[in-house]
Structure 1
Amino acid sequence: MNVTEYIASGILESYVMGAVSDQERREVDCLSSIYPEIKQELEQLSASLENYALLHSIEPPPQLKASLLQKLTFEEQEDRPEPIVRPMPVEPTSRPTFQVTWIAAAAVGLLLLTFSFFLVSRLNNEQQTVSSLQSTNSSLQTELRQLRDRQQRDEQVLALLRQPGTRTLELRGNEKAPNGDILLYWNPQNQQVAVEVRSLPSLQPDQQYQLWSLVNGKPIDAGVFDGGNAAPYLQRLNRPIGQADAFAITVEKRGGSPTPTLSTLLAMTPVGS
């Protein structure tokens, strides 16, 4: 059996994500107990997926559940009892009198007025229900689009994490960018670098953020990227980086600079062991 081809087939990623059949699951369990390379790859994938989930975990706001339940709960319209109309006792006569005719007409008019009020009230309630449903549907559509965007972003990040040797580093902004937050994905084996901008302010049109790799104190251009809400979620940089003692971010002119501008240094983090 070619273990390398089996690992590259993608079945181990599907196994970690729980997207395999029972037969495929038994097959992976069996092969992982036979081949140490497969078992090691499974452990690396599980650790990467767990690390990614911890980095992206977001507590939902406590009022979200109550808000959804309130939107999706519709009280049933209570049945309004029809008024009971009892005929007025009249003395038996040989023919209807004017008083009896007037009372009968008033009773019919009252019944029609009550029924009309019921219809108007019911129509208003139905219109409010339709409006509430439309608002709820719009909110659910927005949440669905957000979930689809998040799923697409997660798939892009997972494609990086399942590459053997990929490392994840977090760069926090200094006093010049206190809210800065960037995730760096670096693979020393294939020398690929990508950044996930979680929080960085927008720059002037003629400026860009530039990533630097520090090797023995010497800065090496690792590529430029954009920040702000309009920036892509995951940006792959076009500079091969095989070695790094640390990574740093500065603000430079659009297109990058051959040397870093230390006065615009926003973040730095060591690579570690």
Structure 2
Amino acid sequence: MNVTEYIESGILESYVMGAVSDQERREVECLSSIYPDIRRELDQLSVALENYAMAYSIEPPVSVKDKLLKQLDFEQPVETETVVRPMPVERSTSTFRTTWMVAASVGLLLLIFSFFLLSQLRNSQETLTSLRTANSSLQSEVRQLRDHQTQSDQALALLRQPGTRTLELKGNEKAPQGDMLVFWNPQTRQVAVEVKSLPALPADRQYQLWSLVGGKPVDAGVFDVTNTNALIQKLNRPIDKADAFAVTVEKRGGSPTPTLSTLLAMTPVDA
């Protein structure tokens, strides 16, 4: 509480002069018992008011006393009328309760509105996350389709080149349903494959194509079993000579030498 502002408000002067309500009177008496500065100011005002009254008081004429004594009859009791005054109604508690209920209602409405906004924000964030995920997945699919289209265009360009040979490799007893085509152009040294039917492999394994020259294997590149059997995959190893082509299963990325135990197919060039 700011004691200085309270003293300067004029409430103490009104209290000393008796021009305050009951509530204000109780308030002044309570605060003066708590704060010494208020008590001191109140005492000073009381003394000043008393001095002012003494300084400017007027002695009444003697005749006034005689007139009053004649008008008073001390033999008969003076009947006094009892004045019944209604008890003052304390409105502060009711007003406080009403104010508190209004404030609580407003606070509840704000809380409900805040929860609504938070729910809408979470829904918007979830929708945005789903859209971002779908967009990322769509972009990935578009990139894959673009890569496949590029490979297909390159493979088709290889097939159109003069001198391109087409060799069919059939699976052995380890892949009896295996079937694929090898496209090879000795002049451009380009190689491509088209898988018609080969068993699916674990994620850490790949098929590897080999060209056999004088009985020695030469790495011709790795390839996968695609979802579309018609896709032609161009390999990244140049092959200028080949007596035969063979396919083995190797670790992902390829191996420098073939694993003969995984040999699935082999066919000579001049069959």
- Structure with higher Rg: it is 2
Q: TM-score, normalised by structure 1?
A: 0.42
Q: TM-score, normalised by structure 2?
A: 0.42
